[in-house]
């Protein structure tokens, strides 16, 4: 042994470097050979550059900033509806197969760890990989987001819409340009924080609508793709002092500080309530619920839940409403028809109507669904893993344990389901409903199956209650906003438009001038 150690020490550095380099080269070549010719997925078609490892995906996602989705589109055109997107994951572009991947049945389906690792919230329901644990955690939260519970939240939504209208009035009086993304984001953040934490943060009072939650979400999207490949980045950021994080990503530092502030406030509120049936908020109610195991109702775990729900429901819902308004303002005939339908409702103060009454309006429903479709929602892949059963697609057998995904982008743009898919056409939903066609099953902004977004009832309630009032109460005109501010060309969790000179990054805000305010007669 001593002679061997001495011999190793006497190896020249150049020789050692050559041996190490050669070892890596052999390992790399063997991995490439295995992934192409010996891997259990070897019979699934795809680009060999994608199959050999994560390199092609890394290049298009990290270096080119969220461009891999469109590379997948090219691969599907070349290889067909089923492809390997990397060595271990399959992507299927087939709307009829979506519900098989994102199943609501009894089949055990995990989330792909690569999907959730970027956020480092393993204790939140949305970040839970294992099927059974997710089902338990989802069960604890379901009562707080049921249709009945959300319907009871209408006064809160109306209160926040009234506040939003007061801010819109300010912009009109001062002849200031209004960011619809900003005002809608503040509104949705107030509603969600009120539901989860028991009180809102009054983000609608922030002068420029740039607040912690919104800027924090945008900050996280900047590192999302890199964090998917290197999850330890987010873990490391959470362990650093806020001052250090602020130097790297200021918005994320503010977000972590907000989490601690809410933690202290939430704990105090819980101690003050001392009731096991408190419904003041999801946080307080869950903390006090004796039916939830104590290890699942810690403040830290529930705060992770809150941040995920706040993120998931704020930017996505607000962007959908802003984009919907863009299309309505770009299509005056659609706006006119929507207003005519809304005028069939009984007169009311400030155009306030119940959610039930609004849900019965077919054209408004079509407008909301079409807005959702063209906004796409989260478009980055979110793979599912059938843990115990093989899946069959055509002649292909997909082994159990294989991550399989289908992007919302491909669902909403599939010509067989949505002809002329780039066209804003609320009538397609009206006609489908009249003909008994369930077109809604192809609307996947909220994902699907047992892991469908828990806040979808709240999101729909906000869209109905907000858009119905804003559309009737104000006359807007687009200001320096075109289709280029809406068309998605970058995928960072959600979609962003192409960078435009003179505008902030890829935000593509929908900006308007307020021409007039309409006063309700009742």
Instruction: Please report which residue ranges of 331-441 form alpha helices under DSSP H.
Output: 332-342, 355-359, 362-375, 408-412, 427-434
- Average pLDDT over the chain reads 89
pLDDT in tens, 306-363: 888 888 889 999 999 999 999 999 999 999 999 999 999 998 888 899 999 999 999 9
Extract the tokens encoding 139: 């069960």
Say whether pLDDT at 450 is over 80.
yes
10 Å Cβ neighbour count for 168? 20
pLDDT in tens, 146-197: 999 999 899 999 999 999 999 999 999 999 999 999 999 999 999 998 988 8
* Structure letter (DSSP) for residue 37: I
Q: How confident is the model at residue 239 (pLDDT cuts 50, 70, 90)?
A: confident
Q: For residues 157 and 194, give the distance between their C-alpha atoms in angstroms, rounded to a whole number.
A: 10
Burial level of 99, CB count in 10 A (0-12/13-18/19+)? Answer: middle
- The angle subtended at Cα 176 by Cα 174 and Cα 179, nearest 5°, is 140
> Kind of pairing, strands 90-92 and 403-405?
parallel
Q: In the prediction, which pLDDT does 274 show?
A: 46
pLDDT in tens, 228-238: 998 888 788 87
Q: How confident is the model at residue 503 (pLDDT cuts 50, 70, 90)?
A: low
Q: For residues 235 and 120, give the distance between their C-alpha atoms in angstroms, rounded to a whole number.
A: 6
Q: Which residues of 325-359 are buried (b: 16+ CB within 10 A; e: fewer)?
A: bbbbbebeebbebbeebbeebeeeeebbbebeebe
Extract the tokens encoding 135: 């089902």
Where exactly are the structural domains of the chain? 89-517
CA distances from 122 to 141, 226, 259, 449 (A): 16, 18, 16, 20
Q: For residues 159 and 155, give the distance between their C-alpha atoms in angstroms, rounded to a whole number.
A: 6
Q: How confident is the model at residue 490 (pLDDT cuts 50, 70, 90)?
A: very high
pLDDT in tens, 56-69: 999 999 999 999 99
pLDDT in tens, 9-21: 567 777 767 778 7
Q: For residues 517 and 350, give the distance between their C-alpha atoms in angstroms, rounded to a whole number.
A: 11
pLDDT in tens, 122-156: 889 999 999 999 999 999 999 999 999 999 899 99
The CA-based diameter of the chain, rounded to the nearest angstrom, is 99
Dihedral sign, Cα of residue 321, residue 496, residue 247, residue 179: negative
Place of tokens 């059974």: 132
**DSSP E strand stretches across 399-456:** 403-405
Instruction: Please report which residue ranges of 297-348 form alpha helices under DSSP H.
Output: 299-330, 332-342
Extract the tokens encoding 479: 């200001």
pLDDT in tens, 402-422: 999 999 999 999 999 999 999
Mean pLDDT confidence for 427-436: 97
Q: What is the 3-state secondary structure (H, E, C) of 134-182?
A: HHHHHHHHHHHHCHHHHHCCHHHHHHHHHHHHHHHHHHHHCCCCEEHHH
Q: In the prediction, which pLDDT does 500 show?
A: 67
Q: For residues 295 and 313, give the distance between their C-alpha atoms in angstroms, rounded to a whole number.
A: 26
pLDDT in tens, 378-398: 999 999 999 999 999 999 999
Q: In the prediction, which pLDDT does 409 show?
A: 97
Nearest residue to 447 (alpha-carbon basis) of 496, 402, 400, 411: 411
Q: What is the CATH number that goes with domain 89-517? A: 1.10.630.10
Q: In the prediction, which pLDDT does 40 show?
A: 97
Q: For residues 295 and 143, give the distance between their C-alpha atoms in angstroms, rounded to a whole number.
A: 19
Q: Is 453 annotated as a binding residue?
A: yes
Note whether 179 and 323 are within 8 A (CB). no
Nearest residue to 451 (alpha-carbon basis) of 151, 91, 137: 137
Mean pLDDT confidence for 254-266: 67
Q: For residues 408 and 413, give the distance between their C-alpha atoms in angstroms, rounded to a whole number.
A: 8
Q: For residues 121 and 429, give the distance between their C-alpha atoms in angstroms, rounded to a whole number.
A: 37
For every residue of 475-518, DSSP letters joined together read EEEE-S--GGGTS--EEESEEEPPP-TTS-TT----EEEEEEEP
Dihedral sign, Cα of residue 337, residue 343, residue 349, residue 355: negative
Taking the CA atoms of residue 282, residue 287, residue 290 and residue 291 in that order, the dihedral angle to the nearest 10 degrees is 50
Say whether pLDDT at 278 is over 50.
no
Q: For residues 496 and 490, give the distance between their C-alpha atoms in angstroms, rounded to a whole number.
A: 5
Extract the tokens encoding 47: 């680009």
Note whether 7 and 16 are within 8 A (CB). no
% of the chain exceeding 70 in pLDDT: 90
Say whether pLDDT at 3 is over 80.
no
Residues 6+ apart with CB under 8 A from 62: 225, 226, 229
> Kind of pairing, strands 82-84 and 396-398?
unpaired
Note whether 322 and 236 are within 8 A (CB). no
Residue bearing the bigger pLDDT, 131 or 241: 131
Q: In the prediction, which pLDDT does 425 show?
A: 98
Q: For residues 187 and 180, give the distance between their C-alpha atoms in angstroms, rounded to a whole number.
A: 10
Q: For residues 430 and 388, give the distance between their C-alpha atoms in angstroms, rounded to a whole number.
A: 40
């Amino acid at each position: 042994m001593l002679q061997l150690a001495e011999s190793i020490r006497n190896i020249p550095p150049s020789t050692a470097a050559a041996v190490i380099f050669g070892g890596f080269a052999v390992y790399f070549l063997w991995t490439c050979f295995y992934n192409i010719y010996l891997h259990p997925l070897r019979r699934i078609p795809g680009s060999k550059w994608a199959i050999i490892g994560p390199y092609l995906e890394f290049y298009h996602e990290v270096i080119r900033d969220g461009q891999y989705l469109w590379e997948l589109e090219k691969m599907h055109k070349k290889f067909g509806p089923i492809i390997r997107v990397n060595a271990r994951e399959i992507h299927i572009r087939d709307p009829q197969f979506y519900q098989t991947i994102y199943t609501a049945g009894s089949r055990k389906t995990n989330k792909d760890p690569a999907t959730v690792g970027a956020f480092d919230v393993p204790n939140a329901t949305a970040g839970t990989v294992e099927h059974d644990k997710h089902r338990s955690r989802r069960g604890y939260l379901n009562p707080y987001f049921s249709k009945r519970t959300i319907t009871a939240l209408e006064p809160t939504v109306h209160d926040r819409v009234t506040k939003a209208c007061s801010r819109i009035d300010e912009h009109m009086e001062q002849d200031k340009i209004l960011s619809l993304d900003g005002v809608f984001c503040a509104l949705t953040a107030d509603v969600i924080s009120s539901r989860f934490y028991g009180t809102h943060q009054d983000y609608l009072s922030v002068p420029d609508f740039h607040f912690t939650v919104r800027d924090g979400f945008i900050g996280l999207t900047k590192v999302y793709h890199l964090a998917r490949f290197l999850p330890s980045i987010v873990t490391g950021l959470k362990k650093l002092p806020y001052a250090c994080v602020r130097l790297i990503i200021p918005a994320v530092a503010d977000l972590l500080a907000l989490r601690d502030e809410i933690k202290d406030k939430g704990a105090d509120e819980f101690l003050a309530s001392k009731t096991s049936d408190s419904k003041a908020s999801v946080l307080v109610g869950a903390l006090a619920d004796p039916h939830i195991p104590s290890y699942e109702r810690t403040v830290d775990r529930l705060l992770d839940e809150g941040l995920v729900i706040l993120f998931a429901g704020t930017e996505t819902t607000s962007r959908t409403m802003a984009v919907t308004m863009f299309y309505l303002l770009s299509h005056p005939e659609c706006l006119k028809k929507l207003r005519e339908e809304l005028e069939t409702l009984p007169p009311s103060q400030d155009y306030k109507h119940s959610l039930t009454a609004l849900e019965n309006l077919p054209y408004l429903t079509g407008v909301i669904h079409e807005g959702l479709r063209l906004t796409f929602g989260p478009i980055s892949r979110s793979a599912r893993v059938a843990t115990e059963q093989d899946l069959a697609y055509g002649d292909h057998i997909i082994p159990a344990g294989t991550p399989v995904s289908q992007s919302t982008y491909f669902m909403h743009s599939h010509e067989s389901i949505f002809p002329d898919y780039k066209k804003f056409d609320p009538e397609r939903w009206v006609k489908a409903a009249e003909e008994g066609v369930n077109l809604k099953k192809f609307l996947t902004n909220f994902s699907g199956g047992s892991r469908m977004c828990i806040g979808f009832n709240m999101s729909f309630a906000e869209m109905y209650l907000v858009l119905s009032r804003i559309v009737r109460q104000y006359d807007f005109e687009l200001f320096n906003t075109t289709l280029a501010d809406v068309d998605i060309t970058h995928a960072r969790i959600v979609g962003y438009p192409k960078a435009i000179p003179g505008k902030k990054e890829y935000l593509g805000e929908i900006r308007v001038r307020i021409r007039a305010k309409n006063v309700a007669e009742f």
